[in-house]
Structure 1
Amino acid sequence: MVTSQTTITIKPVTTPVEEEQFLNLPWRVYKNDPHWVSPLKSDIAQQLSPDNSFCSYGRFHKLIAINAKEEAVGRIVAAVNERLTDEMGEKVGFFGFFECIEDQNVAFALLEAAETWLREQGMARMRGPIDLSTHNNCLWLVDGFDSSPRIMMPYNPPYYERFFLAYGGKIAKEAYAYHLPLQDGLNDKFAKAYRVASRSGIRFRPLQTKGEAFKADVSRLYDLFNRAFAHSWSSTRRTEEEFMAQARSLQDLVDPDIFPIAEYNGEMIGFFMALPDYNIPLKKVNGKLNWWGILKFLWYRRQIDRARVIVICCLPEYRRKMVPLALIHLAFQQGQSYQEAELSWVYEDNNASRRLIEETGAKIYKTYRMYEKQL
């Protein structure tokens, strides 16, 4: 495919050289950006491997844009998640893993190629950015470019939204990240909530992170997660194997002090999931955890002084027992080595979660969006 103003070839990724170009492209896009945190190349390669369990219920198509000098100047992945289309009853395909130099012609050529493939797969709409699943990386940052992303959060150049809207896309969903300095502590209502919950028979403990105990906790987290988030937008239930695989990938990163669990009569009924911001040391390893990268990672992890709160979960019938506020109190009491927290991401129309977050005093400091286009 050739654009009218810039000679660009869009081609499927089929050779080892093209694979390397695909993986290396972000270093070209972000080479002068002080806030970018490079992904681990091995993680991206694994996500897009034929061995990924996604391939048992979906399919994807990797594409790169090559200029006249045989240099990669853009990339995109089009994907069809059959679970999602079956569940929704709509023919919605995804685009993700998008990276592009600041050239609208390149962006248009990539989007057109992804759109063409999705249409050939029978899709009627294209949604993204979604890297195969909303359980992975998704959304584009549109406000808050003055600081680095926290762990497992997206980051991109400001021009991505402009290119997609110029291509004819529309905004489908908005989401926020909240920032909370921790020096001043929380309102007294959180400590009171902890006392109320404890008197009601709720028991709190940290996530177990070793051996069979970890596996048992993850299995219970999986059941609770599916009960609490059964109808999340543009998302489908993961298998327990997929959930367990992601949990194992995070096992060594967990700080039990900021991952409390709530139980009632031995049943897990809520949890607070936060992770130390490992993007601080990851920023130093330049995408490679070779022996030198591991040494740098271990050295700089000692500088971690902030965390990202990913999930605050509680079964609806226990909210009157003040469990969500109690979990927040416990995590913040035990996580006093952290100076600040990000609570992210939460959709604009998730009013219940936003009210809970805002009760802590946290303020919106980054805005993200998802997009759609009719095919």
Structure 2
Amino acid sequence: MTSSFEIRAVTTSAEMEMFLDVPGLVYGNDANWVSPLRSDIAKQFSPNNPFFGYGKLQQFIALDSANKSQAVGRIVAAVNRRLIEREGKNIGLFGFFECISDFAIAQSLLNSACHWLREQGMTVARGPIDLSTHNNCLFLVDGFDSPPMVMMPYNPSYYPEFMEEDGWQKAKDAYAYNVALDKPLPDKFEKGYRIACESGITFRPIRTKGDGFTQDCISLYHLFNKAFSNNWSATPRTEKEFLEEAKSLQTLVDPDVFPIAEDKGKMIGFFMGLPDYNIPLKHVNGKLNWLGIIKFLWYRRQIDRGRVIAICSLPEYRRKMVPLGLIYLGMEGGRKKGKPYKRGELSWVWEDNMPSRKLIEASGGTICKTYRVYEKGL
């Protein structure tokens, strides 16, 4: 417990460094935590971030009065005008929240974020969402016994307790599903693949090099916008934003677990799997300097699991069994001889997305983690 502290808006480079240091203090003894790359977090606050073309934010840190060189908590309040336009109400966001186990500090950070949002004319606060749901979002509320998969959130178990104690309400839950790879899929998935092929659908792995990769990413971008445009709390990305993120993942893609479905050369679905690079990232301590790169390359050989980020098919192709065909190919790709994967995780899926949940559960997936977004009236 910290007897005396102050909340300060981040305005200097020194305060920014303290902001970035907070997770190391919070998770120092947590064996399951995987530090995100420090440069990736800092990049979110660069003036070059496209977010600043349609939003604004304010960072806050909590300082221990006895040691003002060490921040013991942090939070970001943000206004995303795209989200406001989409939902038709003044929703403000909080994100990047980290705090030591001290409710008074956590409450003061949340209050500071809410006060700033209220000054911007917001009437509802929602989070944790790091500027948009395309970035890190959600608090883990159940399933603290294992490390997070790549690009998935993780937090201490006391965060949800703090939220409830401060009067925040559940807005929506999301689930992560464990998928065993030592058991074959039910026959209907292979049958669905055969039906899709007979109806003229073709399948191939994503291209990972040169112009082929760029062309596939542009097609993925348009398909994402069409298929997921109505997702809750989601906002559209520009093609530039999408391609920038895709290029950062280019060397990490395993084409065997990233099949694409096409109809006469037009992309109409995909199964987006990715090896769990959190396994090597755990050893680089958030920094990909020369030593971090060496460690990453060494420990990537230990990857034995993967994450399914999304399964997508245009609605008009579902009767042609395209989703079943994609799942069949993606899962079989992970089981191929020589592949290291022992299990997979499909994450995350909103609790009310019953079509996707039923499909995942039919393939043998079982809920292994629960996540939550909170809201509070301002």
**TM-score over 0.5 for the alignment?**
yes
- 1:18 corresponds in structure 2 to 15
- 1:30 corresponds in structure 2 to 27
Q: Aligned equivalents of 1:15 and 1:257: distance in 2?
A: 46
Alignment RMSD, CA only?
Answer: 1.1
Q: Please tell me the residue identity of whatever aligns with 1:284.
A: H
**Runs of at least 5 residues in structure 1 that lack an aligned partner in the other structure:** none
- 1:339 corresponds in structure 2 to 342
- 1:8 corresponds in structure 2 to 5
- 1:215 corresponds in structure 2 to 214
Runs of 4+ in 1 over 2 A off after TM superposition: none
- 1:252 corresponds in structure 2 to 251
Contact 1:59 1:80 in 2 (8 A): yes
- 1:50 corresponds in structure 2 to 47
Contact 1:12 1:63 in 2 (8 A): yes
Identity, % of aligned positions: 62
Q: Please tell me the residue identity of whatever aligns with 2:323.
A: P
Q: Aligned equivalents of 2:161 and 2:332: distance in 1?
A: 42
Q: Aligned equivalents of 2:376 and 2:205: distance in 1?
A: 44
Q: Please tell me the residue identity of whatever aligns with 2:362.
A: E
Match of 1:132, SS state, is coil
- 1:204 corresponds in structure 2 to 203
- 1:368 corresponds in structure 2 to 371
Please give the residue correspondences for 1:80-229 in structure 2 after superposition, counting only pairs within 5 Å.
80-229=79-228
Contact 1:9 1:66 in 2 (8 A): yes
- 1:350 corresponds in structure 2 to 353
Deviates more, 1:88-97 or 1:188-197: 188-197
| TM superposition shift of 1:211 | 1.3
Q: Please tell me the residue identity of whatever aligns with 1:235.
A: A
Match of 2:141, SS state, is strand
Match of 2:178, SS state, is strand
| TM superposition shift of 1:6 | 3.4
Normalised TM-score (structure 1): 0.98
Q: Please, which of 41, 52, 55 is the counterpart of residue 38 of structure 2?
A: 41
- 1:359 corresponds in structure 2 to 362
- 1:285 corresponds in structure 2 to 284
Normalised TM-score (structure 2): 0.97
Q: Please tell me the residue identity of whatever aligns with 2:60.
A: L
Q: Aligned equivalents of 1:177 and 1:334: distance in 2?
A: 21
Contact 1:6 1:105 in 2 (8 A): no
**Runs of at least 5 residues in structure 2 that lack an aligned partner in the other structure:** none
Q: Aligned equivalents of 2:230 and 2:197: distance in 1?
A: 30
